[in-house]
A = this chain, B = another copy of it.
Amino acid sequence: MSLLGFGDRLSSAVHSHGNPVCVGLDPRLAQLPASLRANGLDSFADQALAFERFCCEIIDIVCGMVPIVKPQSAFFEELGPHGLMALAKVCHYAASKGLLVIMDAKRNDIGTTAAAYANAYLGRSNASPFGCDALTVSPYLGTDSLEPFVSRCQSTGSGLFVLVKTSNLGSGFLQDCVADGITVSERVANYVQEQALATSSSQQSYGSIGAVVGATYPEQLAEMRRIMPNAWLLIPGYGAQGGSAKEVVLGMDHEGLGAIVNSSRGIIFAYENPKYAAATSWQHSIELATNDMIEALQAARLG
């Protein structure tokens, strides 16, 4: 059997939807729409159920519009085992609706422990309880710690996004350290490019091993695009964290491929934004905000 790699599946999904928008599923209790609070949120079980409903409704809205969603594991873990149950259901529901699913869990460990994380999250089969298409991972432990993840990607047609340059203010603490003439983030980027090339179906395509690169540092984004010509970039920080459409298109090629752009709060809590005061429901505001983001990216790319 020839297994289609994650890189190619993502290219195809971005191409068919005509946009590279990733909707971040970052539910937060304090911001849930009123209708989802009606049954009370006293226990972790109630809270987890509300998260599940919220995310599944978001999935229903965006599944025809965008190629990919990215659940943030931390907010589900905060609710304990009930939260993780909701997270698994949300992942499976998104996949059933034709979306690609990136688990944002920033995992990292070594050897068989890393392999256990890879099995947990990567690969759409019953063998993986969360069954996602890709996972975010951290490189601090070294490239040998990433190998079990890469190997799992190859055997299951899934993908990785390795943290390279993050969007937070303090990201430079380690990532900008210069050793032997290159920064730590460039060192990681070089590794990602090797793996991306090794997992791509042609020299011109994007492989299954990608990188997280924030949009808050546009000049670094352009440089990262240059260092990793075969890697998908996952760009967080659109909207809420300060990245604009003009900046994130630096990550894309002339066909609009090569980068996916994530927005979480700006879309899922759009009902709180005065801009969408005319929306008929919180669901409607999500649809409007998603459309706005798709159009802003398109305009920036063509402009």
Interface, chain A (partner B; CB < 8 A): 26, 28, 44, 72, 74-75, 77-85, 87-88, 106-114, 116-117, 119-121, 129-130, 138-145, 163, 166-175, 177-180, 184, 187-188, 191
Contact = CB atoms under 8 A, between A and B. Distances in A.
A72 to B, nearest CB: 6
Q: How many copies does the complex hold?
A: 2
A116 B163 contact: no
Contacts of A178: 179
A137 to B, nearest CB: 10
A293 to B, nearest CB: 20
Contacts of A166: 110, 140-142
A88 B130 CA distance: 18
A166 B111 CA distance: 12
A143 B78 CA distance: 21
A174 B187 contact: yes
A256 to B, nearest CB: 28
Contacts of A116: 74-75, 77-78
A117 B77 contact: yes
Contact of A142 (B85, B110, B171): B171
Nearest to A80: B129
Given A81-B85, A116-B78, A108 B174 contact: no
A142 B119 CA distance: 28
Contact of A170 (B83, B85, B143): B143
B80 A130 contact: yes
